[in-house]
Amino acid sequence: MSESIWQILADIKAHYRAAALCTIIESHGSTPRHVGSKMIVTPDGKFTGSVGGGEIENRVLQEALASLTDGKTRRLTYSMVDPQRGDPGICGGTVEIYIEPILPDPTLMVIGGGHVGKAVAHLAKWLEFRVVVCDDRPEFTTAEMNPDADLLLNVPMGELPDHIEINAFTSIVLTTRGANVDIAGLPDLLRQCEPGYIGIIGSRKRWLTTRQGLLDAGVPEAVINRIHSPIGLELQAETPEEIAVSILAEILMLRRGASGKSMKD
């Protein structure tokens, strides 16, 4: 089982997924499992391996899912003597379990080539994001056009989930050529995935047009309300590079739970 655990972890890392590794680090007396026993928990609640089964495993599972939300490790101690006192078992021993969330490097996906998209990709790479650039036009998904991209995808927007996993660790930035492109591609994309962040470049007028188009296409309003548009923080940005700073600043602010206020205040 130990070997398969490491194989699963390697696959999770290779595909930019998340998981929590739960390991028994101390065990005294009679316990279902002993030191070194491991369990991997994924965000959907599925798990591989075991740290004891029954109620103790259920409690560890819940703590593991919580660790994937807040990104914090946990060190849990359980006494298994008296269930009436709240213990998760009656074996008579004690067990200590360490939970380590394994989170992927954040992915920044730029949909739509051009000057702004290229600047966003460049800054995101400098900030150590995994950078994915997508466009339905082949001339905008070349290595020459996008030297900072880790992955180039020349596919329609709505087909992206077929080619790459999009999850809570993915930020999507749309720098497309018009609202008509967004209205055509976003409904299929949003039905198949839930990114951690999604923003659309453009004016308030363009966003109102896009919003109405998405509503007409049957996209739920709750889903639409998660979209950031106009995108970025208010910096009076003008050049592609300045706009990229505005966009990445908003993404970092939301990831860190920050306010965006001036440090002076």
pLDDT digits (tens, 9 = 90+) for 18-29: 999 999 998 876
Least confident residue range of 24-28, 119-123, 231-235 = 24-28
Which tokens is 9 given? 């972890």
Chain mean position to CA 133: 17
Instruction: Find out if CATH 3.40.50.720 is the number for domain 107-256.
Output: yes
Per-residue pLDDT for 184 more than 90?
yes
CA-based Rg of the chain, rounded to a whole angstrom? 23
Residue 39 Cα distances to 1, 36, 50, 55, 206, angstroms: 10, 10, 5, 15, 48
Residue 60 Cα distances to 19, 83, 93, 187, angstroms: 13, 16, 17, 37
- Residue 234: partners with Cβ closer than 8 Å, 6 or more residues away: 246
pTM value is 0.82
139/147 Cα distance (integer angstroms):
13
Q: What is the pLDDT of residue 198?
A: 97
Q: What is the pLDDT of residue 84?
A: 54
CA angle 172, 63, 21 (to 5 degrees): 75
| Predicted confidence (pLDDT) per residue in 67-104, tens digit | 998 889 999 887 765 455 544 455 657 888 899 999 98
What single DSSP character describes residue 238?
-
Per-residue pLDDT for 1 more than 70?
no
Q: CATH 3.40.50.720 in the chain: give the residue spans.
A: 107-256
Q: Cis before residue 83, ω within 30 degrees of 0? A: no
- 4-28 exposure pattern, b = at least 16 Cβ within 10 A, e = fewer: ebeebbeebeeebbbbbbbbbeebe
